[in-house]
Amino acid sequence: MPDRGEIFVFWVLAIPLIAASMGVVVSRNPVHAAISLVAAFFFLAGIYVLLVAHLVAFLQVLVYAGAIMVVFLFVIMLLALRDDELKEARLKGMQWAGVLGAAGVVTVIAQAIHAAGPLPWRAVGPEFGTVRAVGKLLFTQYLLPFEATSVLLLVAIVGAVVVAKQRI
């Protein structure tokens, strides 16, 4: 069972994580959205540390906050959006429906968590979260999704370069 200190640290990390995630969605400027996403990645890494998944937290910072965000910023800068393309847009009916739908999903999830009651905490084995255990799973059971993700990222980068080349 987690103690009060862990719960306090969780909320200290979770509230800014939610705020940074909302900054990604709400921001009209893609660079500001990318910076908010980096902040969200760091807060998420802190939650991974609370879950005793130190390797996942390290990879979260190294891979996502580092490498992937550099690629995102490269693509954003390559697209070279002008200021007139970033003007504030009014919320339309479908956007309000999306906000209401998201609020409904959050309400349903909160009720499900409340109805489930306290979660049983279990001890993890000594191999949990080690580089060996993660590597074994990644390169045996999850090899195809790992390679598919690599190809998807490569195609996205090539597509962004092709789109940007037509505009230059």
For the chain, give every domain's residue range: 4-167
Q: Say how far apart CA 100 and CA 106 lie, in whole Å.
A: 10
SS3 104: helix
Task: Specify the pLDDT at position 30.
Answer: 80
Residue 79 has pLDDT above 80, yes or no: no
- The pLDDT score that the predictor gives to residue 62 is 86
> What is the CB neighbour count within 10 angstroms for residue 44?
20
Residues 148-157 have a mean pLDDT of: 88
More confident call, 123 vs 42: 42
Query: What value does the mean pLDDT of the chain take?
Result: 82
The whole-number pLDDT of residue 47 equals: 92
**Separation of alpha carbons 149 and 75, rounded Å:** 18
Query: Tens digits of per-residue pLDDT, 8-35?
Result: 999 999 999 999 999 888 887 788 888 8
Q: Are 41 and 18 in contact (CB under 8 A)?
A: no
- Name 56's Cβ contacts closer than 8 Å, sequence gap at least 6: 48, 129, 134
CATH architecture of residue range(s) 4-167: Up-down Bundle (1.20)
Confidence of residue 40 (pLDDT cuts 50, 70, 90): very high
Q: Looking at the predicted structure, is the pLDDT value of residue 69 above 90? A: no
Residue 91: its H or E element: none
Strands (E), the chain: none
Higher pLDDT, 14 or 83: 14
How many CB atoms neighbour CB 55 within 10 A?
16
Q: Is the pTM of this model over 0.85?
A: no
- Residue 86 pLDDT exceeds 60: no
Interatomic CA distance for residues 4 and 14, integer angstroms: 15
Task: Tell me the pLDDT band of 113, cut-offs 50, 70 and 90.
Answer: confident
Which residues, 6 or more positions from 28, have their beta carbon under 8 angstroms from its beta carbon? 86, 87, 88, 89
Give the confidence band of 80 by pLDDT, cuts at 50, 70, 90.
low
Q: Which of 20, 25, 56 is nearest to 39 (CA)?
A: 20
